[in-house]
């Protein structure tokens, strides 16, 4: 039985229909998660922390943004900056992302960061699915839920913010 945590309790309290899946507790990428769960990799979305310019440098708050994109794609910083109305955004190191969110890489989830001030952008490709898989807020927990509920709960904006994975390793 998959672990119960604050996210599953939150979804239960909101009466959101979801399915939780237990995966190995080490850090897994979205493509590896899709393979383990035997589902199409484009339905497993990963959360990438993106940094806005610091306030006073021509940018807005400097508050990090959560970019939720398919495992088969990589975040496009120009598209993401454009969607945020910024000139440019950057990617933190894995350690910086963990410090900013308080969550381990591989367990960063927009559902775990509701009411923590993070803006959420979900790649527009999510609209082609009724449900997508995202991290359950800890390593070893994956949650499948309706896209419309994820957008509503996180107050996310949908925007084209990713491009196909290059030959580079999965982010």
Please give the model's pTM, rounded to 2 decimal places. Answer: 0.91
Q: 3-state SS of the chain?
A: CCCCCHHHHHHHHCCCCCEEEECCCCCCCHHHHHHHHCCCHHHEEEEEEEECCCECCCECCCCCEEEEEECCEEECHHHHHHHHCCCCCECCCHHHHHHHHCCCCCCCCHHHHCCCCCEEEEEHHHHHCCEEEEECCCCCEEEEEEHHHHHHHHCCEEECCEEECCCCCCC
Per-residue pLDDT tens digits for 117-170: 999 999 999 999 999 999 999 999 999 999 999 999 999 999 999 999 874 444
Domains of the chain by residue range: 6-163
Q: Does domain 6-163 have CATH number 3.90.960.10?
A: yes
């Amino acid at each position: 039985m998959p672990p119960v945590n604050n996210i599953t309790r939150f979804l239960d309290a909101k009466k959101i229909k979801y399915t939780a899946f237990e995966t190995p507790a080490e850090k897994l990428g979205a493509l590896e998660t899709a393979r383990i769960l035997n589902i199409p990799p484009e339905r497993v979305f990963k959360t990438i922390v993106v940094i806005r310019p610091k306030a006073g440098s021509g940018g807005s708050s400097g508050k990090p943004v959560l970019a939720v994109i398919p495992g088969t794609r990589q975040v496009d910083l120009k598209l993401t900056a454009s969607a945020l109305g910024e000139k440019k955004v950057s990617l933190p190191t894995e350690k910086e992302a963990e410090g900013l969110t308080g969550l381990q890489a591989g367990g960063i989830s927009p559902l775990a960061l509701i009411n923590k001030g993070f803006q959420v952008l979900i790649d527009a490709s999510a609209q082609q699915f009724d449900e997508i898989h995202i991290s359950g807020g800890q390593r070893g927990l994956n949650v499948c839920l309706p896209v419309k509920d994820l957008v509503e709960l996180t107050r996310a904006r949908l925007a084209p913010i990713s491009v196909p994975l290059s030959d580079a390793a999965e982010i």
